[in-house]
Amino acid sequence: MLISMTIIDIIQISSVLFGTLLAAPLIVSKKHKKRMFGLSAIATGSILAMIVQLNAGLYYFFFASAFWFLNSALAMRKMFRTNRKLS
């Protein structure tokens, strides 16, 4: 028997993969590039989670994901500026 998956299911699984499994080990790295990649994975996972949450009508969770997206975007901006000043 085949498992039937919709695009929303695929987006939800991708959100978990990007937002937690991929980002968690990279975000604690001491290397700049790995941390930037981890922050971008959090941002990607947050955007994918927001799509799923809007589709399901979970508006409070949407704002929580938007909070994580904004935090990761601000952290990437700060790291980019710090790295540019050091160079």
| Residue-level pLDDT, tens digit, the chain, 87 residues | 567 889 999 999 999 999 889 998 999 988 999 999 999 999 999 999 999 999 999 999 999 999 999 999 999 999 999 888 776
Estimate the crossing angle of helix 32-56 against helix 7-16, to 10 degrees.
150
Task: Identify residue 32 by its one-letter amino acid code.
Answer: H
Q: What is the pLDDT of residue 83?
A: 82
Q: What is the pLDDT of residue 57?
A: 92
Q: How many residues does the chain have?
A: 87
Task: Identify residue 23 by its one-letter amino acid code.
Answer: A
Closest CA to 35 of 44, 21, 20, 23: 23
Parse the chain into domains and list their residue ranges. Answer: 14-86
- pTM for this model (two decimals): 0.86
